[in-house]
Structure 1
């Protein structure tokens, strides 16, 4: 197995802007502490770099409060990148800002032109397929356009559905290895992971379903001890990172980076 879905040579992150305190949120649980968020973000970047990957840190974008969540702006595959078309109007400019950075790393950068919308947080790339969850931010037209674009690179896309009230598909799941998914029970109940081994997060710890397997470690938000114990017993190496402030903006571990290995 190639492990291309969990092993990466590169990541792109963007430092939080001061304007992030005005970022989008489904439920207001308080204003993020900017200093603490920057500390957590630095820890996150360090965790990526500890694996030997090249991590590109982009400058803050004050005009875009949510721009720290770079994953929503693009899908990065070995053959090329696809610039997304976010479903939140205030975030459309973030995708345009990311395009030139990816053009420096890839020979081919495609773009979702619309009229549909799609965000990277709804896309889970496994070893065998690309799962895309329909959500409030990703619609049928966006999924269909992405399917046409990635087909040119030989990728198979499968549309699935995000539970009501869940912002993104990957809010409730993450890939742990080639055939293992970490997921909430509510998402797994939809049957979207048939054929995969599924590890459920502990009851009451649904917020930690959004993790990332980045080379060797699984990078997990801190503060979810029962799920961490489950993953430890399953043989995964864990790196736990504070995420309390990004969580106030519905953000998790995958949201904070684009992870990829561009084909030479």
Structure 2
């Protein structure tokens, strides 16, 4: 039996646009280099394909600087997909651009109508529930509407809270298997992962928390050697991918694909 939390047959990605230099960022730590980002993105897509999964590569959208971060536009579940309603006004139009692709892949496609907001970066699907982190981009109304939708499909959703100063819930955590979570100590300290097996990122390597388990691989941002070594010692097959340019826009491994 497959584990729907990390065993996938498909992923959707989008090429970075030249306009990415205008992407949103919580603090300015430099302008992304498009060529370097494209190189890392190519490595990322190739790693997904290496697992045998089909990767649907969508073209760049110049009108939407942050559109490479497709994860925020939708939640893809085995029983259906839900189009999100981003909390950043400049990203609202990305959802309509993603809708035709998902409509072709899913029999059931629902949508967050509002007034609330939810972004996919705040959603962690585990083997037993859907965790949704309230953040600057995901509010109580959005979580409530998503709860109503997924409960129609018999999923259990639990609202949790993202630490102050952390953009998305998954900035600070990722799923390693149905029952194991990689987390920063600050997020785990909130108690939101009680009952799970939790592995902590190394001190000073908190940015490694935004990794993804995709079939046999754990895709980790490069440059966090102690966390990568810990994961390898735990038996995971780690692939390190440069995230230097996405990090300038608060982006990471999970942000770059929709996985189902």
The normalised TM-score by structure 1 is 0.98
Shift of 1:3: 1.2
Counterpart-to-counterpart distance in 2, 1:231 and 1:258: 23
Name the Cα RMSD after superposition.
0.6
3-state DSSP of counterpart to 2:92: helix
Shift of 1:96: 1.1
* 1:193 lines up with 2:193 in the alignment: yes
Cα deviation, 1:204-235, whole Å, max 9, x if unaligned, reads 00011000000011000111000001101111
Counterpart-to-counterpart distance in 2, 1:164 and 1:11: 31
Shift of 1:178: 1.2
Cα deviation, 1:160-216, whole Å, max 9, x if unaligned, reads 000000000000000001110000000000000001000000000001100000001
Equivalent residue, structure 1, for 2:101: 101
**Which blocks of at least 5 consecutive residues in structure 2 are unaligned?**
none
3-state DSSP of counterpart to 2:55: strand
Shift of 1:91: 0.2
Shift of 1:2: 4.1
For residues 125-136 of structure 1, the aligned pairs below 5 Å read: 125-136=125-136
* 1:221 lines up with 2:242 in the alignment: no
> What is the number of equivalent residue pairs in this alignment?
260
Equivalent residue, structure 2, for 1:159: 159
For residues 36-75 of structure 1, the aligned pairs below 5 Å read: 36-75=36-75
Cα deviation, 1:125-147, whole Å, max 9, x if unaligned, reads 01110000000000000000000
Equivalent residue, structure 2, for 1:79: 79
**Which blocks of at least 5 consecutive residues in structure 1 are unaligned?**
none
3-state DSSP of counterpart to 1:104: helix
* 1:182 lines up with 2:182 in the alignment: yes
Cα deviation, 1:83-137, whole Å, max 9, x if unaligned, reads 0000000000001110110000000100000000000000000111000000000
